[in-house]
Chain A
Amino acid sequence: MTLTTKAETLRPVPYVLRDKWQETADTWSMALEPAEAWLQADRGEPGQFNMLWAFGVGESAISISGPTHGTGPLVHTIRACGNVTRKLCAMKAGEVVGLRGPYGKPWPIESLKGRDLIIMAGGIGLAPLRPVVYHILANREDFGRVSLLYGARRPEDILFANELSGWRGRMELDVLITVDAADSSWFGNVGTVTRLVRRNPFEVDGAAALVCGPEIMMQYSAQTLLDAGMNQDSIWVSMERNMKCGVGLCGHCQVGPEFVCKTGPVYPLERIANLLATREM
Chain B
Amino acid sequence: MSHDVFKADSKLPDRLLVALREQGYTTIGPTARDGAIVLDEIHASADLPVGLREDQEAGHYRLQARRDEAVFGHTVGPQSWKRYLFPPNHRLWAAKRSGGSFEIKPQHEADHRLAFIGVRPCELAALEIQDRVFFGEEHVDPHYAALRTRAFIVTVNCAEAAPTCFCGSMGTGPRAEDGYDLALTEILGRGRHEFLVEVGSERGATLLEALELKPAGKDALEAARKKAAELAGSMTRRVETDGLAEALMANLEHPHWAKTAERCLACANCTMVCPTCFCSTVEDVADLSGDHDERWRRWDSCFNSQHSYVHGGNMRPTIRSRYRQWLTHKFAGWIDQFGTSGCVGCGRCITWCPAAIDLTEELAALRGAVTT
Which A positions have Cβ atoms within 8 angstroms of B?
Answer: 1, 3-12, 14, 16, 35-36, 55-59, 79, 81-82, 94-96, 98, 240-242, 244-245, 247-252, 254-257, 259, 262, 278-281
Partner of B138, one of A1, A240, A247, A254: A247
Contact residues, B88-117 vs A (CB, 8 A): 92-93, 95, 97, 100-102, 104, 106
Sorting the interface of chain B by its residue count into under 10, 10 to 19, 20 to 34 or 35 or more gives 35 or more
Do B308 and A241 have beta carbons less than 8 Å apart?
yes
Q: Which chain A positions have C-beta within 8 A of B141?
A: 7-8, 10, 249
Partner of A3, one of B138, B139, B145: B145
Digitize B277-304: 1 where CB-to-A-CB distance is under 8 Å, 0 elsewhere. 0111111101000100101000010100
Q: Would you mind naming 21 contact pairs between A and B with Cβ atoms under 8 Å apart?
A: A1-B128, A3-B135, A3-B148, A8-B142, A9-B106, A56-B284, A57-B286, A59-B284, A82-B311, A96-B100, A96-B102, A242-B310, A244-B282, A249-B134, A249-B278, A250-B280, A251-B279, A254-B333, A262-B139, A279-B321, A280-B320
Q: Which chain B positions have C-beta within 8 A of A257?
A: 332-333, 335-337
- Determine which residue in B139, B284, B302, B310 has the highest number of CB atoms from chain A within 10 A of its CB, and name it: B139
In this assembly, does B213 line the interface, its C-beta being within 8 Å of a C-beta of chain A? Answer: no
Give the CA-CA distance A241 to B308 in the complex, in Å: 7
Question: Known interface pairs A12-B104, A281-B321. Does A55 touch B95 (Cβ–Cβ under 8 Å)?
Answer: yes
- Determine which residue in A9, A247, A251, A281 has the highest number of CB atoms from chain B within 10 A of its CB, and name it: A251
Q: Which residue of B lies closest to A95 (CB)?
A: B100
Give the CA-CA distance A95 to B99 in the complex, in Å: 11
Give the CA-CA distance A252 to B300 in the complex, in Å: 9
Q: Which chain B positions have C-beta within 8 A of A4?
A: 135, 140
Q: Which chain B positions have C-beta within 8 A of A280?
A: 315-318, 320-321, 324
Q: Which chain A positions have C-beta within 8 A of B233?
A: none
Q: Which residue of A lies closest to B320 (CB)?
A: A280
Q: Which residue of A lies closest to B283 (CB)?
A: A58
Partner of A56, one of B101, B286, B310: B286
Q: How far is the CB of B205 from chain A (nearest CB, A)?
A: 20
Do B101 and A14 have beta carbons less than 8 Å apart?
yes
Do A259 and B140 have beta carbons less than 8 Å apart?
no
